[in-house]
Amino acid sequence: MTLISGTISVHGYNKHMEVPQTGIGLTVVLFVMCASVVWISGARLAYIADDLADRFQLAKSLVGLLVLSLATSLPEVATTLAAAVRQTQDLVLNNLFGGIALQTAVLAMSDFWARGAITNYPRKANHALEATLLVFLLSTALIVVSVGETFVFMGVGLGSALIALIYAGVIVLLRRYDGQNDWVPVDLPDPEELPFPAPSGLAGTSNRVLFLQAAFACLAILVFGLLLVVFATRIADQTGLGEGFVGVTLLAGATSLPELTTTITAVRIGAYTMAISNIFGSNLIMLVLVFPADILFRGGPILQNASTTVLLSLSFGVAVTAIFLTGLIVRSKPKIGAFGLDSVLVLVVFLLSILAYYHVR
């Protein structure tokens, strides 16, 4: 798949879809339209995933980690691989790593719908394990970026391959750990008192129709996620903000819309563990995407000579994940309004990250 100057084409086919050049105003409008489709499709996926978990008696944390996170990461997959083919290193890395702090902030915002700190809800320690392993992977990427690739094979760095290998081990470990070591939740609200009730209306829908709806939603996320990278790149050029700042803010935000809408929807229907695992699982996927991006990027190891923004985004990713890890371990914590203290700290750190990105742009 190739993406050059606003033209998307697929090798092996004569037909191609051209995206005409647009002014800044129309570019922003088209960007918002694509993001809206991604948002709506992501919300539908949350309902479908919750319903399928109930029908097939699957743990919702597992569905969030392995299924929902993969589906909602399709924009990251599309934009990352397309940007890697275009040889735009900054856009690839800032989109991936910048989205980690952003998506963790999304989880923090869900406290409003959860009626208290969402980190009080998990009954198992597997979410704390997810956060711990995510910090380990982020630290590994940070070390590789800081030290540089010491071994390169056919243009692919050892560091990105190591991240992919560790990711595989993480998924195996989390799968084996699921169902063990129960924790006791505290301060759980009455399910009847949940605000903003959001019935899915899927009770009478057949499994076949549910799977078809899920496939259609995933396709919409993939196609419009791919278009997002075209318009985000144009906005970077037309505004003069640069691909680094746009990648770590605007593009990362747009491609994180499925995580935002699925997380909020999951919390509204009481699927708290699925919401948490969806975010942590998506963050893990964004790290492992470095490996296929490295294969497609022909300018050398993609983690080599990364910008200061990349280092900052990894560091902020470690910070916000560590805060939530602490929140998962400390079961009863102070609240500020509807938000737990850990969520407030995550949101503060995220806002500071935006200022830092702008400062070094």
Q: What is the pLDDT along the chain (361 residues), one digit of tens a residue?
A: 333 334 333 333 233 345 677 888 888 888 888 888 887 887 788 788 878 777 777 777 777 777 788 887 877 777 778 778 888 787 788 778 878 888 899 889 888 888 778 888 887 778 888 899 999 999 999 999 888 777 888 878 888 999 999 999 988 888 777 656 555 555 555 544 555 444 556 666 788 888 888 888 888 877 887 787 678 778 777 777 665 666 556 766 776 777 888 888 888 877 888 888 888 988 998 898 899 989 988 888 888 888 888 899 999 999 999 999 998 888 777 888 888 899 999 999 999 998 888 888 7
Half-sphere exposure of residue 125: CA atoms within 13 angstroms, side-chain side: 11
Half-sphere exposure of residue 10: CA atoms within 13 angstroms, side-chain side: 6
Q: Kindly list the distances between the CA atom of residue 298 and the CA atoms of 26, 155, 163, in Å, as whole numbers in the listed order.
A: 32, 7, 19
Residues 152 and 154: their CA atoms lie apart, in Å, by 7
Write down the architecture of domain 23-195+205-360 according to CATH. Up-down Bundle (1.20)
Residue in the block written with tokens 């019935």: 199
- Spatial neighbors of 136 by CB under 8 A, at least 6 apart, are 166
Strand pairing category for 16-18 and 152-153: unpaired
Phi, psi at residue 356, to the nearest 5°? Answer: -65, -40
Phi, psi at residue 182, to the nearest 5°? Answer: -65, 145
Q: Are 90 and 243 in contact (CB under 8 A)?
A: yes
Pick the closest to residue 278 from 118, 161, 81 (CA basis).
118
